[in-house]
Amino acid sequence: MVAPKTEEAIELLRINGQLTSRALAEVGKAVAPGVTTMQLNKVAETFIRDNGAVPNFLGYDGYPAAICASVNDYVVHGFPSDYVLQEGDIVSIDLGTKYKGYNGDSAFTFPVGEVDAETLQLLKVTKESLYKGIEKAVAGARTGDIGHAVQSYSESFGFGVVRELEGHGIGRDMHENPGVPNYGHQGRGTRLVEGMTICIEPMITAGDRHVYLAKNGWAVRTVDHKKAAHFELTVVVRKGYAEQLSTFEFIEKEVGINF
C-alpha cells in the first residue's frame, strides 16, 4: 500500500511542479539549430538555482548533469554534451527540482526548427497519450488503467510503447512507489488512492518499441534508431479526476509550442 500525501506535502510538490514547468519553458526558449545540449543544461541549472531550488538530477546515482537531453533516437537519459542541435532534430528535456525537501520532475520533447510530418505526429500523439493516461489517474482506478490508456492510444497510430521504463511516485524522493507503466491491462496493477502523487511519462517510438542501454550506462536508445518522444507531468490522484501539479502551459504561452 502506497501512503497518500498530506495536503501540506502536496502543496510543496505543487511548488516544485510549477518550478519544473517554468524551467522547461526557459529551456524551450533556448532550443534552436546551432545550440548545444550543454548550453541547454546551463540554462536549466541557472534558472533552477536562481529560484531557490537545486537540480535534483545532478548527482542522482552519479548522474552528471542538471537535465537529461535526449536527441532523436535517444529515448531518455541522454547526457548534455557539445552536440549541436540541427534543423529537424527533436530533443527530450527531462529535469527536476528539489525545494523544501520535496521534488519536481517533468519532461517535454521539443522540435528543433521545422520537423517532418511523421515526427510532428509522433510528438503530438505522445503528448496526447500522456493526457489519456492522466484521465485515468483517479481514486479507485489502477496503474494498469493508465498504462492501457497510453498504450492503446499510441499503438493505434502504429507507434511503439517502450516497456523497460516507466513513470513513478514522487515526494521526498524523486522516485517512489508505485511504478506507473505505459502499457498494461485495465483493472490490474496498484490501486490508486486519493492523495497519491505520481509522474506519468509516456516514452513512444516512431518505429519498433525495442531499446538498448548505451555504453555509458545511462542513455537509452531505440534499436532501429528511429526517433522517440517523451513527455512527463506530475499529478495528484483525486476522487473523479487527477489534479496536475506540473503543466505545459508555460511552454505553450512563452515558447509558442502547442501541438
Q: What is the pLDDT of residues 95-118, one digit of tens each?
A: 999 999 999 999 999 999 999 999
Sheet containing 220-222: give its strands across: 74-76, 220-222, 211-213
d(Cα 234, Cα 51) in Å, to the nearest integer? Answer: 20
d(Cα 177, Cα 167) in Å, to the nearest integer? Answer: 10
Beta bridge partners of 180: 167
CB atoms inside a 10 Å sphere around CB 79? 20
First to last CA, the chain: 37
**What integer pLDDT is reported at residue 2 of this predicted model?**
85
d(Cα 103, Cα 100) in Å, to the nearest integer? Answer: 9
CATH hierarchy code of domain 7-255: 3.90.230.10
Q: Which residues of 183-198 are buried (b: 16+ CB within 10 A; e: fewer)?
A: bbeeeebbebeebbbb
Cell of 33: 539549430
d(Cα 163, Cα 82) in Å, to the nearest integer? Answer: 30
CB atoms inside a 10 Å sphere around CB 96? 32
The band of 18, judged by pLDDT with boundaries at 50, 70 and 90, is: very high
pLDDT at 173 over 80: yes
Mind listing the pLDDT tens digit for each residue in 200-232? 999 999 999 999 999 999 999 999 999 999 999
**What integer pLDDT is reported at residue 154 of this predicted model?**
98
d(Cα 139, Cα 8) in Å, to the nearest integer? Answer: 19
Q: Which residues of 32-71 are buried (b: 16+ CB within 10 A; e: fewer)?
A: eeebebebbbbbbbebbeeeebebbbbeeeebebbbbbbb
Cell of 103: 521534488
Residue carrying the nine cell digits 521526498: 172
Residue carrying the nine cell digits 502547442: 258
Question: At 253, is the secondary structure helix, strand, or coil?
Answer: helix
Mind listing the pLDDT tens digit for each residue in 37-94? 999 999 999 999 999 999 999 999 999 999 999 999 999 999 999 999 999 999 999 9
Sheet containing 197-200: give its strands across: 176-180, 167-169, 197-200, 233-237, 242-244
pTM score over 0.85: yes
